[in-house]
Structure 1
Amino acid sequence: MKLKIKSGDTVRVMAGDHKGEEGKIVQIFLSKNRAIVEGVNLISKHTKPSAQNPQGGIVKKEASIHISNLMLLEGGEVTKVSYRMEDGKKVRISKKTDKAI
């Protein structure tokens, strides 16, 4: 499945408990249609003591969020994405400004 957003894009959450929050995409899971967004959908994870973390305890970390709840931010505004061929290359285009992303 082809997605209109990529890792490194800045997105806004459009639906759910974290509606209105913004962040950068850290990782995308294509098979599950989910993405991890920096600073959004934080969960408390209990960790056992290990060599890297001898204390253990509770760690805050980002959980994945469904891609349908995310929208690309371009110039501080959300925008839909389309594709166009320019100079023989496929380029992502902002539908709001009609410029290449």
Structure 2
Amino acid sequence: MRLKKDDTVKILVGKDKGKTGKIVKVDVKSERVIVQGANMVKKTMKKRNAQDKGGIVEIEAPIHVSNVAYLTKDGTTSRIGYKFDEKGKKVRFAKKTGEVL
């Protein structure tokens, strides 16, 4: 998976289409990401201890990685590729702009 935690992404489809946010969590096995403040769903939670309140809470639900795109510094979306730099180290780069991530 080419997207990593703390990457800024733009949502391409769904109810939050066009929103941008940082990736909070990446699930490599199911190829899903959780984007901060996007794809909010209501979930009922049980009271676990004295500090936790039970009830209905809003949390971010996972989004499939194919439905988000990396957002470059200039605000355009781009796909991500890999290449080797001068020192032979493998780095990620934005295919549209060529910038190293």
Normalised to the residue count of structure 2, the TM-score between the two structures is 0.90
Structure 1 runs of 4+ with >3 Å offset: none
- The structure that is strand-richer by fraction is 1
Counterpart CA distance in 2 for 1:35 and 1:93 is 19
What percent identity do the matched residue pairs reach? 41
The residue that corresponds to 2:95 in the other structure is: 95
Partner amino acid, structure 2, of 1:45 = K
The counterpart of 2:8, out of the listed 7, 10, 18, is 10
Counting matched residue pairs gives 98
Deviation at 1:50, TM superposition (A): 2.5
Normalised to the residue count of structure 1, the TM-score between the two structures is 0.90
Deviation at 1:95, TM superposition (A): 1.4
Please give the residue correspondences for 1:1-101 in structure 2 after superposition, counting only pairs within 5 Å. Answer: 3-51=1-49, 52-53=51-52, 55-75=53-73, 76-86=75-85, 87-101=87-101
- The alignment partner of 2:14 has SS state of coil
The CA RMSD measured in Å over matched residues stands at 1.1
- The alignment partner of 1:68 has SS state of helix
